[in-house]
Amino acid sequence: MLKFYAKSEPGLEEELIKELTDFGIRAYYVRPSMVSFETDEEAVPLLNMFSRTATRFVILLGDFRVNSLDEIGNAVREIDFRQWIDPAQSFAVRALRIGVHEFTSMDIAARVGEEVIRQFGRLRVNLDEPDVVVKAELYDDWLVIGIDTTGSSLHKRWYRVYKHPAPLRPTIASAMLYHADWRGGPLLDPFCGSGTILIEAFLKHHSLPPNIKREFAYQKIKHYHNMRPLPTRFPNALEGSHSIQSPTLVGIERFEKHVRGACENVGELGVYGIEPSIRLLKGIAQKLDELVDDIQIVITNPPFGLRIGKKGKMFHLYRGFVDALVRKDVPKVCLLTKSLLPQAMLEENYKVRSKWIMYGNLPVRLVFAHS
């Protein structure tokens, strides 16, 4: 068994824990954006390939209480890096520092790097394209040292061939599915943009790995050089949970160019050998009750108003959207919003709960409403 920590989008740790529970792994909240767990070393490739809500998985080599660069050096000296890095490989230290300190994250990276090199006598440093990345994260006086297994962040999905001007991160979209406890019923996204929520729902329903057509950092770690090929499905509680029958997934989008772009993204799913059951309609959310039939849940990312500008326009947009939900008698709604308006309007007819998450650098509310 190895110790790990995983990173999520800030505020979505609970949803990552739910996903890991589905994988048969018991995880625990550590701090914003971070959960920890223990599992077999063979799980590393599977976690990176199949996780929908995590952005990164790191093998935890040690954690320490420190107050100076010297104490950081002493702590790192206790860790044996030789099972993770081959002497012929290059490495880099990626440091993160949160809190008030008399040194910088660059100072941390340099000190940790010195101690890693000391164990080998000589080791190449490559800051641009290292073979192995050592993670050094300092939160106030808590230092975490690990080996990155992921590489490029898992929020970067391969199917996004169309570049929407305000894209929703797939990791957030998948976390919304977990937050709403979506289990395959008819789903509508009336502000579907480039189709991210619908695509993530399709992949989740069929237990298909979202992180294909890419390389992972673990593939260069010495410990995993002889790892056998990955299976196409996660061999655990999820096995057999996928359904041959596809769910009803419908998207409404106001702009024709985004409808075409969403169709391009959906078209990429053909590599899985399953016909995507995603229907995309040009229209407006205020008339969703006229455009679709059976709806069990709406999961969506409405405009925040940053591009629209005028508050009056946003009020009428939200008012028309919520009124359409009520007319259609939609039982569940999950959405993101920067404004209090949608939540206040939903509270007129629904029981509502919400929490703060980070949408890039923007704090927003993740709202769930049910009748």
Q: Does any domain span residue 346? A: yes
- CA-to-CA separations, 224 to 83, 218, 221, 356, in angstroms, rounded: 10, 6, 6, 38
Q: Does any domain span residue 118? A: yes
Instruction: Give all strands of the β-sheet with 142-148 in edge-to-edge order.
Output: 27-31, 34-39, 2-8, 54-65, 142-148, 132-139, 90-98, 124-125
**What is the pLDDT at residue 237?**
40
pLDDT at residue 140 is higher than 70 = yes
CATH of the domain at 86: 3.30.2130.30
How far apart, in whole angstroms, are the C-alpha atoms of residue 255 and residue 96?
A: 40
Q: Does any domain span residue 227? A: no
Instruction: State the chain's mean pLDDT as an integer.
Output: 92
Structure confidence by residue, pLDDT tens digits, 222-255: 888 766 555 555 544 444 444 557 789 999 999 9
**What is the pLDDT at residue 57?**
98
Structure confidence by residue, pLDDT tens digits, 67-87: 999 999 999 999 999 999 999
pLDDT at residue 181 is higher than 50 = yes
Residues 280 and 134 in one domain: no
Structure tokens at 37: 């767990």
Q: Which residue has the tokens 């206790």?
A: 78
Residues 55 and 126 in one domain: yes
Q: Between 309 and 253, where is the model more confident? A: 253
**What is the pLDDT at residue 241?**
45
Structure confidence by residue, pLDDT tens digits, 141-165: 999 999 999 999 999 999 999 999 9
Mean pLDDT, to the nearest integer, of 264-277?
A: 90
For 260, the domain range is: 170-206+243-370
Q: Does any domain span residue 237? A: no
Overall domain count for the chain: 2
Q: Does any domain span residue 232? A: no
**What is the pLDDT at residue 247?**
85
List Cβ neighbours of 60 (8 Å cut-off, separation of 6 or more). Answer: 2, 3, 4, 5, 36, 144, 145, 146
Residues 125 and 257 in one domain: no
Burial class of residue 275 (count of CB atoms within 10 Å of its CB; 0-12, 13-18, 19+):
exposed
Residues 191 and 136 in one domain: no
Q: Does any domain span residue 276? A: yes
Mean pLDDT, to the nearest integer, of 282-296?
A: 95
Q: Does any domain span residue 219? A: no
Residues 6 and 127 in one domain: yes
**What is the pLDDT at residue 269?**
93
Helix spans in the chain (H): 13-22, 43-50, 69-76, 105-120, 170-179, 196-205, 256-267, 288-291, 311-328, 341-346
CB 103 within 8 A of CB 95: no
CB 369 within 8 A of CB 350: yes
Mean pLDDT, to the nearest integer, of 330-349?
A: 93
**What is the pLDDT at residue 309?**
54
**What is the pLDDT at residue 238?**
44
Residues 296 and 329 in one domain: yes
Residues 103 and 180 in one domain: no
The residues pairing with 333 across neighbouring beta strands, listed in sequence order, are 298, 369
Q: Between 301 and 246, where is the model more confident? A: 301
pLDDT at residue 100 is higher than 80 = yes
CATH of the domain at 366: 3.40.50.150
Q: Does any domain span residue 161? A: no
Residues 84 and 186 in one domain: no
Residues 136 and 178 in one domain: no
Mean pLDDT, to the nearest integer, of 208-212?
A: 93
| pLDDT above 90 as % of the chain | 84
**What is the pLDDT at residue 306?**
53
Mean pLDDT, to the nearest integer, of 329-351?
A: 94
Residues 56 and 137 in one domain: yes
Cβ atoms < 10 Å from Cβ of 255 = 11
Residues 127 and 194 in one domain: no
Residues 255 and 300 in one domain: yes
Mean pLDDT, to the nearest integer, of 102-115?
A: 97
Please tell me whether the overall predicted TM-score, pTM, comes out greater than 0.75 for this model: yes
